[in-house]
Amino acid sequence: MRTKARAYGMSELFQLQAINAFGESFSFVFFYMLMFRQGVQYANIVVTFVLLFLVTFVSIVALPHYNFRKSIRLGLLLKFFCYAMLAYPISQYTFLAAALFYGLSMRYFWVPYNGLFLSATQASNRTTSSTRLFALYAVFGAVFPWLGGLLIERFSYSLVFGGGAAVTLFGVWFVSRFPPVGSYNYVSFENAAAFKKLAGFVLPEGMWQGVLWVSIPLSVLFLGRTESVFGLLLAFLSSMGGLASLIFGVWSDRTMNRRTPLLLSAAGAALFTFAAIFLTSSMLYIGLAFGAAYFCIYTMYSFTFTICNELVPDSTQAMATREVLLTGGRVIGGLVVLYAVASTHDLRIPLAFASAALLLLFAKGMRMGKRWPCV
């Protein structure tokens, strides 16, 4: 049940996301690299990745109440504790604690934030607004990972994670200035219809993320590369994604056609992810294959994000269901990577799985009508 809420303005929401995106792109992207530098084995890195999203999945299902402002503030506070712990890791158990805090933060931050964001849009500008949101991530991702990698090599991990903690703590204060905007109760087992509508779009996306988000740092570690090289790779991937999503978003809102860009981006991401199976022998080939995949996937993100709210009009219900499906898919993808790393240290099987997952999304898109919301 939702209490009456005043939606925040788009400017406030973008400012809040900029604060959050800084911490993620400047600091948290190096989480798995830090674990390796502290002596954690490859398989245990993937176990931590799976645990993080398993915590998110369970918390969304088990903790149904959202007070929008308090939840977002608590989400940022949990991220602050995560970054602060990683600035000075005491032992390898620190990484498990950080994963726990970060997994909980995703539940508290993303569901209410995305619900408020979509409530501030209309059908005529929803995809354009969504692509601008993802483009913000692309811009931050094109600068701060590389900068963070350089600072790690020049100074230390403590500086980078401490910087992320400081900015995120500012975000806690920033949200405290916002007026109350109501609350929401999400009961997952009462939303079977929402799961049925969204599963074909969102679960495959989560599976792809579950493979790629941990396979990319592992690929860099397998080749013995440094943090600055990893940061430069992430910067390249983000820059590839931002421009395409903006162009397709404006075109889609003008034509109300979601089907064409969704099909093209899903097919392209599946193709280039599969091509990466044969191109993991050098950083140049990895950058080209994953860069082409990210060019497509960032476009797809904005459309699956928009589709969720157009299939499930209650924005917070749509976003909570989306996060359950996404995190469930990420856990599945992470488990596939874990199997591959534990048995062969070969990422070809997970990449093939990620490509096949996007083909499932493509098949779902093929059943859509030419104009939204005909499905």
342-352 pLDDT tens trace: 988 888 999 99
End-to-end CA distance of the chain: 28
Domain boundaries, the chain: 10-366
Determine the average pLDDT of the residues in 137-164: 92
Tell which wins on pLDDT, 195 or 273.
Answer: 273
Packing angle of the helix pair 259-275, 192-222 (nearest 10 deg): 30
- Cβ atoms of 102 and 52 within 8 Å: the answer is yes
Contacts (Cβ under 8 Å, ≥6 apart) of 148:
25, 26, 27, 29, 30, 160, 227, 231
Where is pLDDT greater, at 91 or 188?
91
CA dist., res. 305 & res. 289, Å (int): 24
Cα–Cα distance, 210 to 202 (Å, whole number):
12
- Torsions phi, psi of 183, nearest 5? -145, 175
pLDDT of residue 336: 96
Q: Which of 196-200, 241-245, 311-315 reaches the highest mean pLDDT? A: 196-200
- Cα 46 from Cα 49, distance rounded (Å): 5
For domain 10-366, the CATH class is: mainly alpha
- For the entire predicted model, the pTM comes to 0.88
Contact 241, 297 (CB under 8 A): yes
Look at residue 185 in the predicted model and tell me its pLDDT. 66
AA identity, residue 309: N
Determine the distance from the C-alpha atom of residue 272 to the mean position of all C-alpha atoms in its chain, rounded to a whole number: 19
Q: Which residue has the higher pLDDT, 78 or 179?
A: 78
- Is the pLDDT at 268 greater than 80, yes or no? yes
Tokens 């910087």 belong to residue: 163
304 falls in which pLDDT band (50, 70, 90)?
A: confident
Distances (CA, A) of 115 to 118, 295, 344: 5, 26, 41
CB 208 within 8 A of CB 333: yes
